[in-house]
């Protein structure tokens, strides 16, 4: 069976404001990867999934820049959501598009804005997952072995070991766990039975559609309407009219936590969801003072500070510690590393304040 890619590229990554903007979202920022994260995501599939079998769901706003960024992908494979309605409708739409091409397709669902390396190990896990999805008719999640007691990720509690599957370590999923507190995260880490849920999934079209039918019937009905229009002149209009009425819910809450046939495959590669600015420190490393300086910089007594600025702009710091300073032509952000998650709230506040030109 053929393996298709469904890349979810609809997020803005507001936690990376002021670099990420509506017109230049996180996955199109070159700062976080060699090229852009979206290009990296596609390149990571090279040799495994052909470009014509790669589909991208993005937003109407990002459509032109995404098309330009990944000109190698057939234009009809890049489809905009009329509005963001979380991952279940997004995945549903993508699955419907691929099902039109191959109703038995195996699909790898991939976020466009994560960091993964090395590619070789990723592809090995992905191949194993495809094989498992086909043999088990299960919904395959990718579990990352935690390296620290993270409180920012959802966890997967693994259940029964699938000993017969030899291509990778695979387990039944015992339970999904929402972002834990520190104490619980430490317990998860110690037990060795928990994985980070990395948001990558592999399944066959019939498996995911029947799971959606069972657990999100209203989404299923909407997808039926959309499917009937695909390839016709009514496609765009139908998506535009139907999509806003689909339930706004994540695939995790809406389907995976309820479904019985959910498996987890152990992902043996380096993974980072690049959730917020401190991820840049993890990617780029820090100097002896703990500083990550991606700018022209002069400092006195500057420690554990992340600085990013536009070319030729000098950032000068005295006595900063644990601080993030991000400078762009029209906006500057100053936030302690410990509060980097709140950049999302800040962007919300900007929306409310009508500061549209900076979003």
Residues that bind its own copies (CB under 8 A): 17-18, 296, 298-300, 309, 312-320, 323, 325, 327, 330-336, 338-339, 342-343, 345-346, 349-350, 353, 355, 358
- Least Å from the CB of residue 164 to its own copies: 51
**Residue among 7 and 12 whose Cβ is closer to its own copies:** 12
Strand partners, 325: 307, 334
* Chain CA centroid to CA 107, Å: 15
- Least Å from the CB of residue 287 to its own copies: 16
- Least Å from the CB of residue 31 to its own copies: 17
Q: Which run of H or E residues covers position 132?
A: helix 119-136
**Residue among 25 and 138 whose Cβ is closer to its own copies:** 25
CA distance 241 to 343: 33
DSSP state of 31: G
Q: Which of 5, 4, 11 is nearest to 81 (CA)?
A: 11
**Residue among 190 and 339 whose Cβ is closer to its own copies:** 339
**Residue among 60 and 334 whose Cβ is closer to its own copies:** 334
Q: Which of 54, 27, 50, 196 is nearest to 112 (CA)?
A: 27
∠ CA(124), CA(130), CA(134), 5° rounding?
145
**Residue among 242 and 320 whose Cβ is closer to its own copies:** 320
Give backbone dihedrals phi and psi of 123, rounded to 5 degrees, phi first: -65, -35
Question: Are residues 243 and 93 in contact, defined by beta-carbon separation less than 8 angstroms?
Answer: yes
**Residue among 86 and 342 whose Cβ is closer to its own copies:** 342
Question: Are residues 323 and 336 in contact, defined by beta-carbon separation less than 8 angstroms?
Answer: yes
CA distance 147 to 79: 36
């Amino acid at each position: 069976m053929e393996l298709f890619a469904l890349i979810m590229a609809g997020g803005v990554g507001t936690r990376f404001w002021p670099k990420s903007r509506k017109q230049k979202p996180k996955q199109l920022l070159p700062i976080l990867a060699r090229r852009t994260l979206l290009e990296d995501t596609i390149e990571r599939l090279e040799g495994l999934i052909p470009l014509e079998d790669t589909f991208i769901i993005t937003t109407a706003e990002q459509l032109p820049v995404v098309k330009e960024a990944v000109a190698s992908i057939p234009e009809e494979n890049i489809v905009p959501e009329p509005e963001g309605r979380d991952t279940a409708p997004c995945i549903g739409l993508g699955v419907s598009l691929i099902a039109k091409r191959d109703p038995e397709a195996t699909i790898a669902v991939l976020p466009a804005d994560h960091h993964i390396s090395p590619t070789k190990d990723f592809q090995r896990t992905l191949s194993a997952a495809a094989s498992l999805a086909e043999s088990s008719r299960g919904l395959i999640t990718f579990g990352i072995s935690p390296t620290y007691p993270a409180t920012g990720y959802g966890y997967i509690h693994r259940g029964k070991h699938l000993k017969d599957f030899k291509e990778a370590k695979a387990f039944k999923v015992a339970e999904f766990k929402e972002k834990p507190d520190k104490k619980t995260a430490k317990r998860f880490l110690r037990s060795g039975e928990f994985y980070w849920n990395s948001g990558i999934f592999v399944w066959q079209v019939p498996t995911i559609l029947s799971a959606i039918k069972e657990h999100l019937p209203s989404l299923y009905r909407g997808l039926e309407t959309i499917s009937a229009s695909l390839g016709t002149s009514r496609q765009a209009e139908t998506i535009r009219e139907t999509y806003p009425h689909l339930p706004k819910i994540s695939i995790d809450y809406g389907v995976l936590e309820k479904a019985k046939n959910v498996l987890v495959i152990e992902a043996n590669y380096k993974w980072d969801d690049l959730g917020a600015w401190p991820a840049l420190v993890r990617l780029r490393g820090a100097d002896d003072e703990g500083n990550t300086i991606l700018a022209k910089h002069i400092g006195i007594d500057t420690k554990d500070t992340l600085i990013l600025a536009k070319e030729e702009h000098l950032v000068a710091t005295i006595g900063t510690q644990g601080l993030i300073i991000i400078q762009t032509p029209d906006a500057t952000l100053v936030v302690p590393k410990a509060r980097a998650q709140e950049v999302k709230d800040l962007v919300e506040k900007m929306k409310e304040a009508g500061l549209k030109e900076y979003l």
